[in-house]
Amino acid sequence: MSSIIMEIRGGAGGEEAALFAHDLFKMYSKYAETQGWQIRILDSNQTEIGGLKQIIFEIKGENADLKMKYEGGVHRVQRVPKTEKGNRIHTSTVSVAVLEKPKSTQVKLNPSDLRIDFFKASGPGGQYVNKRQTAVRITHLPTNLVSSSQNSRNLEENKKAALNILEAKLFEKKKMEIENKIAGERKTQIGRAQRSEKIRTYNFPQDRITDHRINKKFHNIEKILTGNLNPIVKALQKSI
């Protein structure tokens, strides 16, 4: 049984990028269901028309880390957005980060290194979801890494979620520092959240998904976005 934390964030493309971020989250959620994995949302920021500026969630299940580690990077989409009235094809991007959830012994947080702020959770349009200060933001002062959660109406649950996110970020930073020291320079690692690396293009007009790391094309985008991710996962496992 393994656990990972994934972050999906809309990039270039504004509202269309946020809408595609939501599509990717649904794809991963459906895929998790087919694998018998558990999924838990830790934090999310939704737009007024149903897109996601950002969502962070935990996936727990057998081989979750081995199958999802290839998803980290930039996902590019080419399609006519719902917001487009002139029937023009837009190109947008979404970044995906895949972080290993550390075991309790792998990351130790010193309470004196943390600044914890509480604020009111907000929804689309800035309207308050909750009038009480239940949202939590945690800053790790030595590294200036920040995590937050406002998904629950319960302050303690949000605090726990924010701590989980922070621990995963610190663990990732620690691993990258070790790798950099060994390699002498930072290199692109498959399975890391290298947001500058374009890993996949979803071309809707041609009903084609191209994974640029293995130069392989897949068809039937709609089926894949409903959770049929296995063909891509298996191709990546075989080739990388």
Q: pLDDT tens for residues 110-130?
A: 999 999 999 887 765 444 445
Q: How far is residue 179's CA from residue 80's CA, in Å, rounded to a whole number?
A: 41
> Helices in the chain by DSSP H: which ranges?
15-35, 64-68, 155-183, 221-225, 230-239
Q: What is the pLDDT of residue 123?
A: 63
**Torsion 186-187-189-194 (CA) sign:** positive
User: To the nearest whole number, what is the mean pLDDT of the chain?
Assistant: 87
C-alpha separations of 206 from 186, 217, 224 in Å: 36, 11, 14
Same-domain check for residues 196 and 162: no
Same-domain check for residues 90 and 123: no
Q: Angle at Cα 201 formed by Cα 195 and Cα 205, nearest 5°?
A: 150
Tokens at 6, concatenated: 């994934």
218 vs 176, which has greater pLDDT? 218
Same-domain check for residues 94 and 193: yes
Residue type (1 letter), 72: G
pLDDT above 60 (res 193): no
190: pLDDT confidence band, cut at 50, 70 and 90? very low
Lowest mean pLDDT among 67-76, 129-138, 155-164, 212-221: 129-138
Lowest mean pLDDT among 50-54, 182-186, 221-225: 182-186
pLDDT above 90 (res 76): yes
pLDDT above 60 (res 41): yes
Q: How far is residue 130's CA from residue 123's CA, in Å, rounded to a whole number?
A: 9
Tokens at 135, concatenated: 């949202």
Same-domain check for residues 85 and 128: no
Same-domain check for residues 23 and 86: yes
Tokens at 186, concatenated: 């930072």
19 vs 185, which has greater pLDDT? 19
58: pLDDT confidence band, cut at 50, 70 and 90? very high
Q: What is the pLDDT of residue 183?
A: 61
pLDDT above 70 (res 88): yes
Q: How far is residue 200's CA from residue 174's CA, in Å, rounded to a whole number?
A: 27
pLDDT above 50 (res 225): yes
Strands 198-203 and 73-79: parallel
Same-domain check for residues 133 and 15: no
C-alpha separations of 216 from 140, 234, 237 in Å: 41, 12, 13
Domain count, the chain: 2
Lowest mean pLDDT among 8-12, 21-25, 128-132: 128-132
Same-domain check for residues 192 and 98: yes
Lowest mean pLDDT among 116-130, 155-169, 177-191: 177-191
Q: Angle at Cα 215 formed by Cα 16 and Cα 55, nearest 5°?
A: 35
pLDDT above 90 (res 83): no
Give the residue numbers spanning the domain of 118: 111-183
Strands 38-46 and 114-119: unpaired
Same-domain check for residues 153 and 197: no
CATH number (domain holding residue 157): 3.30.160.20
90 vs 105, which has greater pLDDT? 90
Same-domain check for residues 91 and 204: yes
Q: How far is residue 90's CA from residue 202's CA, in Å, rounded to a whole number?
A: 12
Residue entry with tokens 């290839």: 70
> Contact at 8 Å (CB) between 90 and 79?
yes
49: pLDDT confidence band, cut at 50, 70 and 90? confident
**Reduced to 3 states, what is the DSSP secondary structure of residue 71?**
helix
pLDDT above 80 (res 186): no
Q: What percent of the chain has pLDDT over 70?
A: 88
Same-domain check for residues 92 and 192: yes
How many angstroms from the chain centroid is the CA of residue 95?
7
